[in-house]
Structure 1
């Protein structure tokens, strides 16, 4: 049984612990961490983002393209320890705090229905970018959670989100924050390729 600590909007803990299913049924505010993995392809002169396709039997957003890795903050964790744990569990990447760039925090909320059941998600997320280079052979994804991994062109993802493609369950505002950060980060690489 997964237990979540309820949060205030500023990400501080309320001192209340609830079971995951009850949290999503009642819309309690809880925490999560998102870790984005990116690379610059000199060959194609483009930024690529690693996306995971969620398994079709997931309780939320089944079969959708999602953040490289993401997860809820379990009881006793903070945003950093959640990010590190999720990178290890979902992608087989063993990282440390120094491997992550904190980008921003966000408050997200939405009411959905999955598999005929209501699902109310209210989260404070901390969004991170993995600094270390990742090669395909470093990845060993969690088959119980993820259908497949795929490197996708950053511009393509942006267009899919703007056009509300239901195959993607990524928050547009979050992605645009990441996208702008990466464009600035890799700008020097593009100039060097010419």
Structure 2
């Protein structure tokens, strides 16, 4: 598996999430400063029967947001790939969990916000076991209630900017 592949081809979409072209992953950071378009991403929360979320912290070697709280699994949607296909793929790659599409429940879509040029589909997966997460992606993880996660972020723990808006979808 190639982590953070800058040559990955992504669909470029307009403000209605309609494909208008393609873009290399390496070019995504420049999208915020242009009106060229947006890209697609997925965020997956694993949630147990206690309603706790499996919350990993990004590997310290990550270029963006090292050590920050992240979705249980997340990633870009490759060109030609559907949101649900990306969610299944990222869950397999990052958490070593093989699930079919029926395990994923879409809880909402976050439109691009605050200069972040992504349409994010947010999914929930009911899951009881602590996954054997990929150490290339995450350096630690824990089960937290959404309120605990919100409090930790508000107290200064770094997190992806879309985590708090995504938690409002729960």
Question: For this structure pair, what is the TM-score category when the shorter chain's length is used for normalisation?
Answer: 0.7 to 0.9
* Structure 2: unaligned runs, 5 residues or longer: 1-6
Residue pairs, 1:156-171, within 5 angstroms = 156-161=148-153, 163=154, 165-169=156-160, 170-171=162-163
In structure 2, which of residues 26, 40, 44 is the aligned counterpart of residue 31 of structure 1? 40
Q: Does 1:103 align with 2:103?
A: no
Residue pairs, 1:67-82, within 5 angstroms = 67-82=71-86
Q: Does 1:134 align with 2:128?
A: yes
- Partners of 2:53 and 2:17 lie apart in 1 by 27
More strand by share: 1
Q: Does 1:147 align with 2:152?
A: no
Q: Does 1:19 align with 2:24?
A: yes
Residue 110 of structure 1 and its aligned partner are, at CA, apart by 4.0
Count of residues in Structure 1 that have an aligned counterpart in Structure 2? 159
More helix by share: 1
Q: Is the 8 A contact 1:32 1:71 kept in 2?
A: yes
- Partners of 2:107 and 2:145 lie apart in 1 by 20
Normalized against structure 1, the TM-score is what?
Answer: 0.75
Between structure 1 and structure 2, the one with the greater Rg is 1
* Structure 1: unaligned runs, 5 residues or longer: 42-46, 112-120, 179-194
Q: Is the 8 A contact 1:35 1:83 kept in 2?
A: yes
Normalized against structure 2, the TM-score is what?
Answer: 0.85
Superposed CA RMSD: 1.7
